[in-house]
Structure 1
Amino acid sequence: MNVEKVTDHIVKWLKDYAINAGIKGYVVGVSGGIDSAVTSTLCAMTGLEVLCVEMPIHQHMDHVTRAQEHIEQLKNRFSNVSDVLSDLTPVFDTFINQMPDIEDSALVDLTRGNTRARLRMTTLYYHGGVNGLLVAGTGNKVEDFGVGFYTKYGDGGVDVSPIADLLKSEVYAVGKHVNVPESIMKAAPSDGLYGAERTDEDQIGASYDELEWAMKQIKERKTTADFTGREQEVLQIYLDFNRRNQHKMNPIPVCVIPDELLE
């Protein structure tokens, strides 16, 4: 990958899209992770207005510190960048207190994690709406089109997806090129949707390098029968996530009514 040319291509694409849409710029949720750091930096490089939004919900302190470090760096580098803090912890707690108790703790944890993501999506669209900005998504290719590791109508609810055609390793390459803080470059990827520090690898069961490998095998029409041991396990993990999450990656099913029933 030609990192410099890819970076320039994305920046131009973002700038052209906003200008053609008659929009002033972008709003980005900054979490302290590599994807949001790269996305917000690329948006800042357009020269258009960029609003970075912190949205803590019982957030792990490491995430908060990295997010604030990145935002301060961006503001020092780019005069078109501003930021706002929207503490969603009391909003989330009030919402959960109004919900019934469910005995299945696994379902509760997953649903509450998705609820956090959807509250953040609503918050980004609020800030985007009142400031005349588009919501820039932070999903990468592995998450968005490989394993579907995002929340439908949460972090999947965006106006544009500038890095969705980049593998995770390529996002890191762009991050290094655009001077994302070293603390973010070294941090283990995490969606930050749970109170404790749970990495993406903890949740998925495979690293992004392994998932990228699996995507390549599927593209080459390989199956689990072609591998043994850890490689077979990783490919099966990828296939299981991809199958379960097709509802996120495909258009919403529409029940088409036959013409004869409408006459």
Structure 2
Amino acid sequence: MYAFTFERPTSQADAVKLAQAGGKLLAGGQTLLASMKLRLANPEQLVDLGAIQDLAGIRREGSSLVIGAMTRHADVAANAEVRGAIPALAELAAGIGDKQVRAMGTLGGSVANNDPAADYPAAVLALGATIVTDRREIAADDYFQGLFATALEDGELITAVRFPIPKRAAYAKFRQPASLFALIGVFVADTGDGVRAVVTGGGNGVFRHAGLETALGQSFTPEAAAGVKTDAGELNGDLHGSAEYRAHLVGVMAKQAVAKALA
């Protein structure tokens, strides 16, 4: 690693002040620290959010679940409130990376990083969640803006994510065996007012699949999902899988996700 200074503020106000002065926010560190070790990132100052207690926690507010940005994946997976209200979200968290990653990685860190193969962005977008920051609230449809790109401004701090509780929802992913990221992941959510279907791992960031949403809005069945074709030209290919293979996986994972939601 390169040399850097390390700050560990105990309040949101102090963290924001440091971030606005150029400090790099450190949540779970599952991406940032690895990037620093590989000398792909060279922040002069790290601002560790781990000591800010009010950034972590899970609570129910009416018809929504509010999860603090610094809540660990393992805590989301094990939380009784999440498992009861949005079991698909708990299952997604339980399948992120390995045990060590789940013990350190955070919801806010994943959403802020917006890796194109990450799991949490799929849930945030499919459930129509709201990203709460120290400055404003951002609808999921406005938040994700492409490869590692979000609507966050410099120095802006995610404090929580508000998830509306759906009628039914599920997530299915085909893991890339080395990284355990999604080669393709599909999250489907029947909100009662419509169906949202989101794909991660296939493009330059998470995206809603209009074809799946239309088909599942008419018939929320595995057969309807399996009948939707995905244009390989819309997806990326790499050494782990071609665009055509990923397009095929979208249909397979969508069918599995719908079956799980109905179960």
TM range (shorter): under 0.3
What TM-score do the two structures reach when normalised by structure 1?
A: 0.27
Which protein has the bigger strand share?
A: 2
Per the normalisation by structure 2, the TM-score is: 0.27
Structure with the bigger RCO (C-alpha within 8 Å, sep 6+) is 1
Structure with greater helix percent? 1
